[in-house]
Each structure stands twice: as structure tokens, then as C-alpha cells.
Amino acid sequence: MTHPNPKPRGLRLGVNIDHVATVRNARGSAWPDPLRAALLAETAGADGITAHLREDRRHIRDSDIEALMAAISIPLNFECAATDEMQALALKHRPHAVCLVPEKREERTTEGGLDVVGDAARLTDFIAPLREAGCRVSMFISHDPRQIEASARIGAAVVELHTGLYSDLLAEGHTELAERELAALRAGADRAAAAGLEVHAGHGLTYDNVEPIAAIPVIAELNIGHFLVGEAIFRGLGAAIEEMRRRMDIARRAAK
Ligand code: PXP
């Protein structure tokens, strides 16, 4: 089975439902149900669902991935560490996309993304069966040109640029540093697109910081979770997603 790239609708929104599971797990109960959140996100205009199955299963569980694969009709972006266990699960479920993220300190670059440069040989072998199975393999990396070039070299289809530092700098009021980080993200996005990679971005995005990222024309998808789940407490998940979508679309239209 192959998963062609979904039709671009300007800029896609992937809704990360991990923290619905965090709330569920806090009480060891069955609710709130991440699948229900995913189905609601779909109705509210999400283009995809992202779920991170961590090695320690602190939020999403194996049964959530099974339920999502069986029930959602938009693509699933399965986030995981590059371990044998996760590779076997990805090959079992064959989600639309597999996004490799660092979970351990030694897998990370200084900026917090995956160290594709330092682990290139292993990652090349790791992603080969996933590519053969038809999954779009994505590397969650910093905007470091070396990490971008390495991702292209090892055969990844997608890079997701880590927006965590940009988000933190803005939240802490370091406007100039945030501007510099934004410029580096823009340059990284252009470099990745020129290398033939599809470009995604995510981490720490909110209503207040999403627009400059959404305005980067080569970015095809944003993955957003924690803020949306928090905002859902106040306005409901559907409305929280619709507002994010609205801001993304305005920023993208204005950039054209
Ligand atoms: N993209 C990736 C690769 C992530 O690991 C995460 C966090 O799980 C996100 C996007 C979403 O980040 P946030 O929950 O801060 O919106």
C-alpha cells in the first residue's frame, strides 16, 4: 500500500492528540478518549492526526494507534523514536507518515532535533523498510543546514523543522533573538525544499506565534498539539482548531 502525498490545501494542519491521552492517563480512566478527539479534529478541519508513541507510553498507547488506524479517514503521522520496537509497529500499521523524533539526550542535536548527521548510517538502514512499506518518512530536526542535507541524503521524504526555540524566545520576550531564529527557520525551509524535501514545522506553536511560521511559503504542514488541547478547555476542541486554521490561512494568503 502506498500513501501518496495528500492534496495540498495551501497549508495543512496536523493535530497532535498526545495530551488528550496525558489527561486520560492522569486518572487511569478511559476518558478523555484520544480517538474521539481525532474524529472531532477531522470534522473541525484538521488535515491529519499526529500521535507520538513514546517508549515509556506516557501518553499515547499501542491501543490508541490501533484505534486511530482503524477509524480516522485523514492521514496518521506516527511519531516515534528510531528503535526496533517502533519500526516493527510502524511496519505493522503502515501509517501515512512516520516522523522520527529524539527521545534520548544522545539522539539530539544542541537545538533539540534529531541528530541525523551523527546517526546517518543507522538511520539510512532504519528508514529503508519504512520507505518500502509506503510510509512517508519525516525527520524532526533543527534548521541546521547539515541536518537538512543529511536528511535528504539518507532518503527521507520530509523534514519537520523544530519551532520550539522560536516559540520559547518569543514567549520569554526575546523578540530580536526570536526574529533571528525565525530567519534561520525560513532559510532552513528554503534549503530543505531546494533539496527536494517536503517541509513541515512544529513544536510550541500557539495563536500568538503561528502566523510568521505559516507565512513561510514552502512549508506544507504544521503539527500542533499542546496549545490546542489546552485551549480546548476554554473554547472546545473544534473551535480551538478552527481558530488555528483561520490564523494559518490568513497568514498564508497574506504571504502570497
Ligand atoms: N511535532 C513534533 C515532531 C513533536 O514532537 C511535537 C510534540 O509532540 C509537535 C510537533 C507538537 O508540539 P506541541 O505539542 O508543542 O504543539
Give me the pLDDT at residue 105, please: 77
pTM summary value: 0.94
pLDDT at residue 10 in the model: 82
| Distance from residue 191's CA to the centre of ligand 1 (Å) | 22
Q: What integer pLDDT is reported at residue 4 of this predicted model?
A: 46
- pLDDT given for residue 89 in this prediction: 98
C-alpha cell at 3: 500513501
Query: Per DSSP, what are the bridge partners of residue 12?
Result: 221
* CB 247 less than 6 A from any atom of ligand 1: no
Ligand 1 centroid distance, CA of 70 (Å): 23
Ligand 1 binding pocket includes 94 (Cβ within 6 Å): no
**Which atom of ligand 1 has the smallest separation from the CA of 14?**
10
Atom 7 in ligand 1: which residue has the minimum CA distance?
203
The two beta strands, 158-162 and 198-202, are parallel
Residue-wise pLDDT for 102-138, tens only, equals: 998 777 877 789 999 999 999 999 999 999 999 999 9
Report the pLDDT value the prediction gives residue 2, as an integer from 0 to 100.
41
Q: Which CATH architecture has domain 12-255?
A: Alpha-Beta Barrel (3.20)
Nearest CA to ligand 1 atom 8: 52
Verify whether ligand 1 is closer than 6 Å to residue 21 (CB atom). no
Nearest atom, ligand 1, residue 229 CA: 14
204 CB under 6 A from ligand 1?
yes
232 three-class SS: helix
Report the pLDDT value the prediction gives residue 5, as an integer from 0 to 100.
45
- Test site for ligand 1: of 158, 203, 221, most ligand atoms within 8 A of the Cβ: 203
Among residues 137, 46, 55, the alpha carbon closest in space to that of 94 is found at: 137
What is the b/e burial string over 40-65, where b = at least 16 CB atoms within 10 angstroms of the residue's CB?
Answer: bbbebbbbbbbbbbbeeeebbbeebb
What residues in the chain have per-residue pLDDT under 70? 1-9
227 lines ligand 1 (CB under 6 A): yes
